[in-house]
């Protein structure tokens, strides 16, 4: 018969003790709480965030293998640290699951989690486990950022240029392909394989975030505001504009996306989707879970911004628009300039579990 | 139509901004993450813990009003800080709920949570919300403790005396009474009313924990080890013994409990329970959620320990046994001396969701 100690033991086996944490972790997993020695933090602040990964809301246990669920759960949460310009340091895992998943499923879940933790350089310092009728994961992450250098959503000013890293819409396309029965191994295009990979293993922009925050010893902060594209461009840019009390104008033709990739050709045959630019744009605007960084840069700095950075395994930076004055009375803060040059208000239509979920 | 911003707004209304947090909270609720300035921590370490409160596992929405669910969720988590001897400072709230509960239910839940936060002196600094088919709450709490003074589970030594605060089994009795249909307002005895109150509003031993940790500027640590009785004495003392690699002997006659209180007389009529000492002992040994502190004290200190402390609104301290050598090969580390003086091994039979839950 399995009990909580067995569950904790199975998770801990994937996280062998490492010397590196000993400097600042006084008490780790196994006691009532973890205890951190703050002497090593110097001129850095602590950044804390928490993120849900819920079965049937954020993942589907029928199409997501346990390793992927574990990897993505930590990646989702850590992306919030990247958006603040913070270096990830530790996390706490709250895991609730069916008893029937407390064996091999749990081992594979913990392996995926541990893989992400190694990649992001994070220590598991505590958590809580419980039986539950569905899988529920809540991860709290902690990181460090130079005092006063954290990137907020509220710093964008009129005239600032809007940039985004990587491509948008790829993760949404990847999810659609998986939902249609596609496998990474099946006969699909390179773009489609890339999209599936982006969905299953999002690339968290940790290095880019730190660079934008001016993490280097004498570095100045480069971005005036930042957010990660977890819910979708239309929603996340809306959050940034609201917090900064500004508006934004973005250009459809400048949004970086996988133009040639097409979904829905598997199992069903919505052939009209094939090659359609409007679908790719829709995914780029409203598809979530790309975990790219959306940030603003003062006009003078923007001209000097490289188009490509070496951090995070190579990341492109694309200018997609500019910050404008907020228009009173308008429902939307964002103006989308279409391919033909027409201006339309862009409403937030990204991911919101309260609108689309249970 | 409600969306995530509406949910967050409803929670925030219960937590008006307070000046006190400005000293150390650089960025609070509303951005991708919270940011803490660590300069004010001086010679203190940070203590972090996380706790589930899941519908149908940790509470029953049919018998627990939303205020109670909110209050208990934060109390449960904060009790882990008390068990470390830490002063509570902040928490992050992860809340998932049915859309139908996103109105009045949510307001009352947040009011109960805010009441607990005021009582414990904690700031809400961040969180995450999601729709879900059942209520799921994950709370991460943070506190501070003098460097090197944290109370662990692993410090108990052979000969140390075992103490417990307050009474044991009351919360379990209170739950049983509520499950039988009793109301705090109905005609029940004072002990029964006390038991229900202990279940609905657990008293977290924050002051006692800090006293045991020697929180005062020149204070020495009083307890050698500590844990909170969240799962039940038989289970929690087992954890403490396992982490300290020791055994324990406890005396049934010394365990503080509500001897005159009886459950099960409502709705059903298990009259044999009435006045039975064995039921009260069972609840004291295996009933969880009392959130008392179970701690060990070196023999010399134990003689000077007061029986009553003024902190936490008045709390009694009772010696219930002593730490012994761990016996090799025995399944149980704990020996229970019965009322008649007989010795029996005590197996962990407290709360474990993986044994009793879904």
Burial B91-101 (b: 16+ CB within 10 A, else e): bbbbbbbbbeb
Q: Please say whether the beta carbons of A93 and A135 come within 8 A.
A: no
- Partners of A323 in the β-ladder: A248
Closest Cβ–Cβ partner in B50, B133, B355 for A140 = B50
pLDDT, position B272: 40
For residue B254, give the 3-state DSSP assignment. Answer: helix
Instruction: Reply yes or no on whether the pLDDT at B146 is more than 60.
Output: yes
Do residue B37 and residue A30 have CB atoms under 8 angstroms apart? no
How many residues does this entry show for chain A?
358
CA A104 to chain centre: 27
Nearest residue to A73 (alpha-carbon basis) of A36, A5, A120, A28: A120
- Rounded-to-integer distance, Cα B169 and Cα B259, Å: 10
pLDDT band at B24 (very low <50, low <70, confident <90, very high): confident
- Rounded-to-integer distance, Cα A125 and Cα A115, Å: 16
pLDDT, position B219: 79
Q: Is B72 an interface residue toward A (CB < 8 Å)? A: no
Residues of A (203-232) whose Cβ lies below 8 Å from B: 226-228
Which residues lie closer than 8 Å to A139 by C-beta, 6 or more apart? A50, A51, A53, A73, A74, A76, A77, A91, A92, A93, A94
A-chain residues within 8 Å CB-CB of B153? Answer: 30-32
For residue A233, give the 3-state DSSP assignment. Answer: helix
Nearest residue to A31 (alpha-carbon basis) of A92, A118, A120: A92
A-chain residues within 8 Å CB-CB of B26? Answer: 45, 148, 150
pLDDT band at B217 (very low <50, low <70, confident <90, very high): confident
Residue with tokens 């007061």: B306
pLDDT tens for chain A, 358 residues: list them. 568 888 999 999 999 877 666 678 889 888 999 999 998 888 899 999 999 999 999 999 999 999 999 999 999 999 999 999 999 999 999 999 999 999 999 999 999 999 999 999 999 999 999 999 999 999 999 999 999 999 999 999 999 999 999 999 999 999 999 999 887 777 888 889 999 999 999 999 999 999 999 987 778 899 999 999 999 999 999 999 999 999 999 999 999 998 765 554 443 433 344 345 688 999 999 999 999 999 999 999 999 999 999 999 999 999 999 999 998 767 779 999 999 999 999 999 888 888 755 4
Mean pLDDT of B241-253: 96
B-chain residues within 8 Å CB-CB of A84? Answer: 27, 31-33, 35
B-chain residues within 8 Å CB-CB of A86? Answer: 33
* Nearest chain B alpha carbon to A137: B138
- Predicted TM-score of the model (pTM): 0.94
Residue with tokens 């396309």: A173
- The beta strands (E) that lie in A10-122 are given as 25-27, 34-36, 44-54, 87-97
Mean pLDDT of B294-300: 96
Q: Model confidence over B34-67: pLDDT tens digits?
A: 999 998 888 899 999 999 999 999 999 999 999 9
ipTM score of the complex? 0.93
Q: Is B92 an interface residue toward A (CB < 8 Å)? A: yes
Chain mean pLDDT for chain B = 90
Do residue B83 and residue A33 have CB atoms under 8 angstroms apart? yes
Q: In Å, how far is B322's CA from the nearest CA of chain A?
A: 21
The mean-pLDDT minimum among B122-136, B213-227, B270-284 falls in: B270-284
pLDDT, position B97: 95
pLDDT, position A271: 35
Instruction: Reply yes or no on whether the pLDDT at B276 is more than 60.
Output: no
- Partners of A128 in the β-ladder: A94
Instruction: Reply yes or no on whether the pLDDT at B194 is more than 70.
Output: yes
Q: Is B41 an interface residue toward A (CB < 8 Å)? A: yes
Closest Cβ–Cβ partner in A47, A93, A355 for B33 = A47
Q: Is A2 an interface residue toward B (CB < 8 Å)? A: yes
Question: Per the structure block, which two tokens stand in for B351?
Answer: 């709360």
Please give the order of strands across the beta sheet that includes B123-131: A25-27, A34-36, B44-54, B136-146, B87-97, B123-131
Dihedral Cα B187, B190, B195, B196, nearest 10 deg: 40
- Residue A310 has φ and ψ, to the nearest 5°, of -80, -20
Residues of A (269-328) whose Cβ lies below 8 Å from B: none
Question: Half-sphere exposure (CA, 13 Å, Cβ side) for A343?
Answer: 8
CA A260 to chain centre: 24
Percent of chain B with pLDDT over 70: 92
Do residue B4 and residue A352 have CB atoms under 8 angstroms apart? yes
Sign of CA dihedral B71, B66, A53, A136: positive
Q: Is A28 an interface residue toward B (CB < 8 Å)? A: no
Closest Cβ–Cβ partner in A36, A92, A358 for B50 = A92
Strands B87-97 and A123-131: unpaired
B-chain residues within 8 Å CB-CB of A35? Answer: 45-48, 84, 145, 150
Do residue B52 and residue A96 have CB atoms under 8 angstroms apart? yes
Instruction: Reply yes or no on whether the pLDDT at B22 is more than 90.
Output: no
């Amino acid at each position: 018969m399995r009990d909580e100690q067995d569950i904790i033991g199975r998770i801990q086996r994937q996280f062998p003790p490492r010397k590196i944490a000993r400097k600042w972790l006084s008490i780790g997993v196994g006691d009532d709480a973890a205890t951190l020695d703050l002497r090593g933090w110097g001129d850095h602040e602590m950044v804390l965030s928490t993120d849900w990964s819920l079965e049937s809301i954020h993942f589907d246990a029928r199409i997501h293998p346990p390793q992927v669920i574990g990897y993505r759960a930590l990646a989702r949460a850590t992306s919030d640290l990247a958006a603040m310009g913070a270096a990830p340091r530790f996390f706490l895992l709250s895991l609730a699951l069916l008893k029937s998943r407390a064996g091999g499923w749990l081992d594979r879940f913990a392996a995926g989690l541990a893989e992400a933790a190694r990649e992001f350089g994070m220590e598991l310092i505590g958590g809580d486990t419980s039986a539950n009728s569905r899988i529920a994961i809540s991860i709290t992450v902690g990181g460090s950022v130079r005092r006063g250098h954290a990137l907020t959503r509220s710093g964008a000013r009129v005239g600032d240029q809007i940039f985004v890293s990587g491509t948008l819409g790829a993760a949404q396309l990847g999810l659609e392909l998986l939902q249609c029965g596609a496998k990474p191994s099946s006969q699909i295009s390179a773009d489609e394989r890339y999209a599936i990979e982006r969905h299953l293993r999002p690339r968290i922009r940790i290095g880019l975030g730190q660079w934008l925050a001016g993490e280097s010893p004498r570095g100045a902060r480069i971005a005036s505001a930042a957010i990660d594209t977890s819910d979708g461009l239309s929603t996340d840019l809306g959050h940034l504009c609201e917090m900064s009390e500004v508006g934004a104008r973005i250009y459809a033709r400048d949004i970086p996306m996988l133009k040639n990739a097409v979904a829905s050709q598997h199992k069903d045959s919505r052939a009209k989707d094939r090659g359609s630019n409007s679908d790719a744009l829709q995914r780029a605007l409203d598809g979530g879970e790309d975990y790219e960084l959306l940030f603003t840069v003062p006009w003078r700095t923007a001209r000097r911004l490289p188009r490509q950075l070496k951090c995070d395994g190579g990341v492109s930076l694309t200018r997609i628009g500019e910050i404008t004055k907020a228009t009173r009375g308008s429902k939307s803060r964002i103006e989308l300039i279409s391919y033909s040059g027409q201006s339309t208000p862009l409403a937030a239509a990204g991911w919101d579990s309260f609108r689309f979920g249970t």
